[in-house]
């Protein structure tokens, strides 16, 4: 099904619509590359949908950096600030000073298939913990493969990075993306996801009612960048519980 997803629903049309709302967004090439990575890691059957605001705006200068990992070049592309892009946060692949990555989302993805209780639990995928670059990359690839096999897929509420925009602008962009692209993508998933895990109160506020209108079971956890009294681990626990329900992960 998902091999024809982009043909059925126009990413380009959605992009032009949000471009009319706000000018300083990612280029269309960046949006296309983000979607390509997303499609690469899409399960055959999406059992758990993670609906987030995860990718960060990427300049054309940074996007121009091409990367590849492993001799067969299966893992390759242009640099974008998005967790499904393996070069994001890996200086060995894209050696630019600003390549700090979105490590918070790596932790969140890890918690989808691993019950965590301590920062040390994340050591297999965290920079500086396995000091061997190749070991860390193999661990990250294995995690993404595990997520794909478990039917867990990350979809953003906006096709372009909207970090740094004011709340009203974010809402307008998310609503337009829902109407033109994200909503149709979700309704195209057959069978429908068992649960939608909404990541962030902002996304929940804009799309919660729309998900309910589609008859989708949805739960909310806070953004992984959120500063939470007592720490974020309760959200990691919830994420694991939501993802492992009706699966073999528990």
Query: Rounded distance, CA 198 to CA 244, Å?
Result: 16
| Segment-wise mean pLDDT, segments of 10 residues, the chain, 250 residues | 52 94 93 96 97 95 96 91 97 95 95 94 83 90 97 97 92 97 95 96 97 96 84 94 71
Cα 223 from chain centroid?
12
What pLDDT shows up at residue 225? 83
What pLDDT shows up at residue 226? 79
What pLDDT shows up at residue 73? 82
Instruction: Please give the domain boundaries of the chain with CATH numbers for all domains.
Output: 2-244 (3.40.470)
What pLDDT shows up at residue 96? 96
């Amino acid at each position: 099904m998902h091999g024809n997803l982009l043909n059925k629903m126009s990413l380009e049309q959605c992009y032009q619509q949000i471009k009319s709302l706000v000018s300083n967004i990612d280029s269309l090439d960046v949006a296309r590359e983000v979607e390509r990575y997303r499609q690469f890691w899409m399960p055959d059957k999406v059992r758990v949908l993670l609906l987030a605001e995860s990718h960060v705006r990427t300049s054309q200068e940074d996007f121009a950096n091409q990367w590849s990992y492993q001799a067969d070049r299966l893992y390759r592309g242009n640099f974008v600030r998005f967790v499904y892009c393996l070069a994001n946060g890996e200086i060995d692949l894209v050696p630019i000073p600003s390549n700090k990555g979105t490590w918070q989302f790596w932790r969140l993805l890890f918690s989808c298939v691993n019950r965590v209780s301590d920062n040390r639990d994340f050591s297999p995928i965290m920079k500086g913990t396995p000091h061997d670059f190749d070991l860390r990359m193999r661990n990250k690839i294995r995690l993404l493969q595990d997520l794909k096999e478990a039917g867990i897929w990350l979809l953003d509420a906006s096709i372009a990075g909207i970090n740094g925009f004011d709340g009203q602008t974010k809402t307008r962009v998310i609503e337009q993306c829902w109407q033109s692209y994200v909503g149709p993508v979700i309704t195209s998933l057959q069978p429908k996801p068992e649960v939608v895990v909404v990541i962030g109160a902002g996304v929940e506020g804009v799309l919660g009612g729309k998900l309910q209108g589609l008859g989708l079971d949805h739960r909310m956890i806070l953004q992984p960048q959120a500063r939470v009294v007592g720490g974020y681990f309760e959200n990691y626990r919830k994420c694991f519980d939501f993802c492992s329900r009706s699966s073999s992960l528990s």
